[in-house]
Amino acid sequence: MSLSLNRQLADLHAERVAHWAPEALQVNIDQRQHLVDTADTERFVKAGDRIEPFELLKVEGGTLSRDLLLQNGAAVLVFFRFAGCPACNIAIPHYDRHLVPALEALGVPLVAISPQVPERLVEIKHRHSLRLQVASDKDNALGRRLGILYSFDEASRQAALRKGSSIGEVTGTGTWELPQPTVVVLDADARVVFAQVSPDWLVRTEAEPIIQAVERALATQLAGATT
């Protein structure tokens, strides 16, 4: 029996508690707590919102549009930070294992989205041989519209610089902005039927609620088509 996603993320934190220097650990904890405490939930994407057309850059080349993703009636968007993010390297492969089979059976695409530039973002797809699609949200355009962005606090900026680079250099975006981990399920009309934003990046949406949301969206669509 495989561990839940959040159990795996809790284990990651426990490993850090055991091995990280106390000051580095505290910077990480403080940043995550600050994001929870200051989260502007009114700005977060939520069920009922309609998402205007968007375009993402596929890491293999080419683009993904909103309408292309919705051609079979629903789509799942998973926002993550960047290819080298340790928590993302747990979460995205977990979704690949636990979401892709069910969603493929329903004809529904799953896209993992980061602002990192495609030529760097592709690393996570190759590293884990991901079946899901991985795409870049250029300049955080879609993430900004969904109200899910955050910027490093000062302590986190200084910690990153002491390691040798800013997050903007890592992602290729030149900014300190990243998306908070977010799952969005869209129906055929580009309406949000499920949305969950996680200010603490070590707490993320499990797979089962996502599958249930997709099934509800498709069932609603089918019911509408037969009335």
Provide mean pLDDT across the span 137-154. Answer: 96
Q: Three-state SS string across 37-98, please?
A: HHCCCCCCCCCCCECCCCEEEECCCCEEEHHHHCCCCEEEEEECCCCCCCCHHHHHHHHHHH
Two structure tokens written together for 192? 């949000």
Q: Tell me if 202 sits within 8 A of 7, measured CB to CB.
A: no
Residue 163 confidence (pLDDT) = 85
Report the interhelical angle of 118-128 vs 88-98 (nearest 10°).
Answer: 60
**Sorting pLDDT into bands at 50, 70 and 90, what band is 164?**
confident
Q: What is the pLDDT of residue 60?
A: 96
Task: With cut-offs at 50, 70 and 90, classify the pLDDT of residue 225.
Answer: low
Domains of the chain as residue ranges with CATH: 5-225 (3.40.30.10)
Cβ contacts of 189 within 8 Å, gap of 6 or more: 50
In angstroms, the CA 207 to CA 217 distance is 16
Which pLDDT score, from 0 to 100, does residue 227 have?
Answer: 58
Beta bridge partners of 177: 151
Strand duo 133-136 + 110-114: pairing:
parallel
| Residue 133 host element (H or E) | strand 133-136
Angle, CA of 179, 44 and 47, to the nearest 5°: 120
The rounded distance, in Å, linking the Cα atoms of 198 and 91 is 12
Residue 189, pLDDT above cutoff 80: yes
pLDDT average, residue stretch 179-198:
98
Which residues is 208 bridged to in the sheet? none
Per-residue pLDDT of 35-63, as tens digits, reads 999 999 999 999 999 999 999 999 999 99
- Hey, how many other C-beta atoms are within 10 angstroms of the C-beta on 178? 27
> How would residue 165 be classed by pLDDT, with cut points 50, 70 and 90?
confident
Question: Do residues 92 and 124 lie in contact, with contact meaning Cβ atoms separated by under 8 Å?
Answer: yes
Q: Which amino acid is at 227?
A: T
User: Would the pLDDT of 93 be above 80?
Assistant: yes
Q: Which of 66-70, 81-85, 223-227 has the lowest mean pLDDT?
A: 223-227
Cβ neighbors of 76 (< 8 A, separation 6 or more) are: 99, 103, 108, 109, 110, 111, 183, 184, 185, 186, 210, 214
pLDDT at 44: 98
